[in-house]
Amino acid sequence: MRYAQGGGLTAKRRQDREEVRLQAAQRFARGEATAVIAADLRVSERSVERWHRSRREGGAPARASKGSAGRPKLTDAQFALLEEELVKGPAAHGWPDQRWTLERIKTVIARRFHLTCPVAGVWRLLHRHGWSWQAPARQAWERDRRRWSCGEEGRLAARKSTAAARGAWLVFEDEAGFSMTPPRARTWGRRGRTPLVRVRGRSWRRLSIAAMCCYKPGERARFIYRPRSYRRGVHERPSFAWTDYRDLARCAHLQLGGPIVPLWDNLNTHLTAGMRRYVDEHEWLTVFQLPAYATELNPVEGIWSLLRRGPLANTAFVDAEHLTRTLRRSLRRIQYRPDLINGCLTETGLAPTDRHPTPSRKDQ
């Protein structure tokens, strides 16, 4: 073929196509055979016959290229309107879930602009305007984005200023659980045959980890964690108690060598009377709560994501010791990579500040 699939989309490609058709028309006039013209111009005989028929019916203007047949004829202004419709979400257009597919976008184009186009044309249209197929992030319905932007952002800035004024470490804390069933990740396989990851069909072993990402301007980022194993059927607490968080905060204080300002979620264990009493009794400890349903503001969530997408993905754990060993080795590597810890903080859009708050003047 002289031009590949989708040729003629740009002005230059359309001009090249018209030149090929002009050469074919000149050879038609000389009476050359269709097969000879197709071989010399490196196009199919069907295309040559179609050009010859359009020339007989429409004359010279019929040789002009109309672009790719599968290209949706949407201008930039029309695509901007299409983007507004897509931002509304599939639910606003009558679909039960929140997943955009090429077929659904094709339907929206037909409803909004009264144009029909193939699925491949929709894909090329989206790709040309910077859209891609990707997994969405989750956000709780209870999260009020407007309230966060107006109120919680200012309160979080005050917490960072408090840490800077006291020369303290800003510490983000979170906990997660890991079981013998590994998280799934994409892998290569033969088309039509889904790859299988063989795991233990039944295991009550579980490992919980409470971790802290520690930041301070001018200091290397630190990562501190404490594991806790649990086996179902044994009469023991399946999760961390407030005394475990107390010991973790004390350990962070000793390792960092200074006061700390932990920021954690509203877990009921964090709000117990014993924990509040311990915070009130120690000046080096100042605790704040993160906004509700705002997991994307906690850099420790990025650490869990690194684990689930990296060393834990598709791993067939033999026993609980294998799981524990893999987790400890992976977390130890993260501890020696402050760039990863800083990257998790950058992903949240937050940054520690070394500016001290300016005290307000009282009226004289």
For the residues 159-167, what does the mean pLDDT come to? 64
Task: Give 175 or 138, the one with higher predicted confidence.
Answer: 175
57 and 80 belong to one structural domain:
no
Burial of 121 (0-12, 13-18, 19+ CB in 10 A): buried
Helices (H), the chain: 11-29, 34-41, 45-58, 76-87, 102-113, 119-128, 145-147, 153-166, 242-256, 273-281, 300-309, 320-335, 338-348
335 and 224 belong to one structural domain:
yes
> For all residues of the chain together, what is the average pLDDT?
79
Six-digit token pair at 195?
């790859």
At residue 169, does pLDDT exceed 70? yes
Separation between Cα atoms, residue 12 and residue 23, nearest integer Å: 17
Separation between Cα atoms, residue 66 and residue 7, nearest integer Å: 11
157 and 43 belong to one structural domain:
no
165 and 253 belong to one structural domain:
yes
Q: Report yes or no on 259 lying in a domain.
A: yes
Q: Report yes or no on 193 lying in a domain.
A: no
Q: Report yes or no on 133 lying in a domain.
A: no
Q: Report yes or no on 302 lying in a domain.
A: yes
Q: Which residues lie below 8 Å from residue 302, measured CB to CB, with a gap of 6+?
A: 343, 344, 347, 348
Task: Give 64 or 335, the one with higher predicted confidence.
Answer: 335
80 and 153 belong to one structural domain:
no
Separation between Cα atoms, residue 326 and residue 331, nearest integer Å: 9
pLDDT tens, position by position, 64-94: 555 554 455 788 889 899 999 988 888 888 8
Output the CA–CA distances (angstroms, integers) from residue 36 to 20, 27, 44, 56, 240, in the order listed: 14, 10, 11, 19, 81
Cα-trace Rg, the chain:
31
Our count of domains for the chain comes to: 3
pLDDT of residue 172: 95
157 and 292 belong to one structural domain:
yes
Proportion of the chain above pLDDT 70, given as a percent:
76
Q: Report yes or no on 333 lying in a domain.
A: yes
Output the CA–CA distances (angstroms, integers) from residue 123 to 128, 132, 153, 252, in the order listed: 8, 9, 38, 51
Question: Could you give phi then psi for residue 18, rounded to 5 degrees?
Answer: -65, -35
118 and 205 belong to one structural domain:
no
Region class of 127: left (phi > 0), else alpha (psi between -120 and 50), else beta: alpha
Q: Measure the CA angle with vertex 199, ends 195 and 202; round to 5°.
A: 140
119 and 32 belong to one structural domain:
no
Helix (H) or strand (E) holding 228: strand 222-231
Task: Give 12 or 280, the one with higher predicted confidence.
Answer: 280
251 and 117 belong to one structural domain:
no
Q: Report yes or no on 222 lying in a domain.
A: yes
- Indicate the residue type of 84: E
173 and 322 belong to one structural domain:
yes
Domain hosting residue 16, numbered range = 11-63
Q: Report yes or no on 192 lying in a domain.
A: no
290 and 343 belong to one structural domain:
yes
Q: Report yes or no on 190 lying in a domain.
A: no
pLDDT of residue 358: 47
255 and 289 belong to one structural domain:
yes
